[in-house]
Chains A and B, each alone.
Chain A
Amino acid sequence: MSHHYWNSLWFMPMAVVTAPAFAADYLTIPQAQALIFPAGAQFTDQGKLLTSDAKDQIKDLAGVRQRHDKQPIWRVEQEGKFLGWFIVDDVVGKHEYITYAVGISPAGEVLSMEILSYRETHGGQVRDAAWRQQFKGKTLKDPFKLDNDVSNISGATLSCRNLLDGVKRLLAIHKLFLAQDSIS
């Protein structure tokens, strides 16, 4: 049996787009706080305003651009004991918008991460129409590519990468602007 690799097929795991995934609210901020930190923990709002200088520093350290000027951050304590930080952030993919929360320990380790909400960036009908539109003018000589040509259906793979980049950026923010606050 000869091996005709020229016609080998390639697989992409594909998410069937589940209707709830168009927009899903998983957790509120207090719910995420309660899941990541122990009961009785106190959350003090210490949101940071980031100058463009600060944003450049974050980009240099994390390799990922900081879009927002304001980063929602809470300092977490329990009966006077410093437990760490709770940060809410969002990442924007090509087709999705994900808000998530991360708990960071005083030593700068990720304690836990929770997705707060997931949004596809286009609404139902429009998205479907736009999605179909992409196939116009496509021929065999112009094979579809998941990322560039055709909006991918398995946005999940990209989301995952974006989330990991997001966490990298939050850890950079911690190192640059929060770690010194921890020394009390």
Chain B
Amino acid sequence: MIRRARPLLGTLVEIAALAKPSQDDAEVNLAMAAAFARIAAIGRSLSFHDGDSELSRLNANPGRWQPMSPDALRVLRLAKAMGKASDNRFNCTVGGELIHRRALPGHISHPVLPQGTWQDIALGHGSAKLLRPIAVTLDGIAKGYAVDVAVTELKKAGLAGGWVNAGGDLKVFGSASLAVQQRNAQGMSRALQINKMALASSRVSLTLDPDYPALLLPTGEAAMPAPAACPHSAEQAPERIVSVAARFAWRADALTKVASYLTDADCTGRIAALGGKILGFNQDERTIL
């Protein structure tokens, strides 16, 4: 197995690859280089922080069709679909609110609405348009998408297996198996073995840490569990950690945001309906996914 890591997407991205017997190291390294290059390109294209990115261009020009790359369009399409399916619990149009809270840089020159809905983004052939002056931020889905794309690149090269891990958004494919330590906010941990599966985790907190890029949960039309009704935040700790498994990393990534919005009672079922699996937490339990 060959493993390499690079600082990308604002985190450390690790790629591991298992070669087929017919493949030499040079071939594997070439496939990994291609996978890293795809991740880097998606990072550049969908960065909110970079004022020159495709995403920033879209945000800077509401009401006008903007040409978009296939990857950018695909992520926007997935984000819209997830917004629709989750009743806006997954909401990629909260950039305005995040700028206001100084969680994201405010390099948009016109006044921006705090948040919108998935309906505010129109998609055409090779282009996208914002129907209202909102700020789209794809932090909650793009990292997972980049992981999926990198895995596709590795599979295309005919590797036997491997994984891509972008700071916790990860996907394992082929014959590879990855041991993971899952921790909850109380410090408990348990071992998981991951095969042919994507996994994502988010820490949900009641406070914003300026040192960390954070995402505001959409309040929009979704019912917010009151602190008292939310056993995690009120009684145990003002924060919790949500882990979701899915077939694709973009979905696992996005569903951690949706799950943070739901109470324990309906979380498991609703996440399952959206194509994910909540990883509950029982100490000393060893789970094979």
Contacts and interface: CB of A to CB of B under 8 A. Distances in A.
A35 B5 CA distance: 13
Interface in A121-165: 128, 131-132, 134-135, 138, 140, 143-147, 152-154, 156-157, 159-160, 163-164
A86 interface: no
A10 B180 contact: no
A122 to B, nearest CB: 14
B224 A7 contact: yes
Contacts of B212: 12, 146-147, 152, 154, 157
B277 interface: no
A143 B209 CA distance: 11
Contacts of A140: 238
B11 interface: yes
Contacts, number: 180
A143 B205 contact: yes
A9 interface: yes
Contact of B179 (A3, A10, A19): A19
B237 A10 contact: no
Interface in A1-57: 1, 3-5, 7-21, 24, 26-27, 35
A140 B237 CA distance: 7
B204 A10 contact: yes
A114 interface: yes
A3 B11 CA distance: 32
Interface of A is mostly: mixed
Contacts of A35: 29
* Range class of the A interface residue count: 35 or more
A27 B204 CA distance: 35
Contacts of B211: 146-147
Nearest to A146: B209
A97 B103 CA distance: 27
B158 to A, nearest CB: 20
A145 B207 CA distance: 7
A9 B4 contact: no
Interface in B103-128: 103, 114
B213 interface: yes
A63 to B, nearest CB: 17
B243 interface: yes
A176 B227 CA distance: 56
B100 to A, nearest CB: 10
A152 B243 CA distance: 16
B182 interface: yes
Nearest to B169: A13
Contacts of B165: 18, 21
A115 interface: yes
A4 B206 CA distance: 13
A11 B140 contact: yes
B289 interface: no
A135 B237 CA distance: 10
4 closest A-B pairs (Cβ-Cβ)? A15-B168, A156-B167, A132-B187, A115-B5
14 contacts: A5-B97, A10-B103, A11-B215, A11-B217, A24-B14, A26-B4, A135-B186, A143-B207, A143-B238, A146-B211, A159-B11, A160-B7, A160-B10, A160-B11
Interface of B: 3-7, 10-12, 14, 29, 97, 103, 114, 139-140, 143, 165, 167-170, 178-183, 185-187, 189, 191, 199, 201-209, 211-217, 219-221, 224, 226-227, 233, 237-239, 241, 243, 256-257, 260-261
Interface of A: 1, 3-5, 7-21, 24, 26-27, 35, 98, 113-115, 118, 128, 131-132, 134-135, 138, 140, 143-147, 152-154, 156-157, 159-160, 163-164
